[in-house]
Amino acid sequence: MTLTYLNAELNAENEFELFNITPKGFDVEINYKSGSWLDNAGTKQQIFKNATEVHHRFKDEMFGDGESIAFESNLRAEGFTRKIKDIESVIIRLAE
């Protein structure tokens, strides 16, 4: 998996907590691996607008084994978690 944050590729093996730095937050592009359950369900790419927090590589007690990445938006009061093993790349840009 690759993790790009504001045009810089981060070491995706490390744990990160990224927080919004502008009032509109981040726009996050998530590209799923071919053959993942999301790809098989017809979702190859997902855009999450106005994210205020991204939590990368944490142990998700709800989903059992493996590490996850969470996307949250306090601006829109929503968010979700995905298993890292299902993701090809995450690109985080400033929201326009």
Predicted pLDDT at 34: 96
Predicted pLDDT at 62: 66
Rounded Cα–Cα distance for residues 93 and 40 (Å): 27
Q: Which residues of the chain have pLDDT under 50?
A: none
- 94 backbone dihedrals φ, ψ, rounded to 5°: -65, 140
Q: Which two tokens stand for residue 47?
A: 């855009």
> Measured over all CA atoms, what is the biggest interatomic distance in the chain, rounded to whole angstroms?
36
| Three-point CA angle 22, 80, 30, nearest 5° | 70
Rounded Cα–Cα distance for residues 87 and 55 (Å): 14
Predicted pLDDT at 64: 64
- 93 backbone dihedrals φ, ψ, rounded to 5°: -125, 160
Predicted pLDDT at 66: 76
Predicted pLDDT at 76: 93
Predicted pLDDT at 59: 73
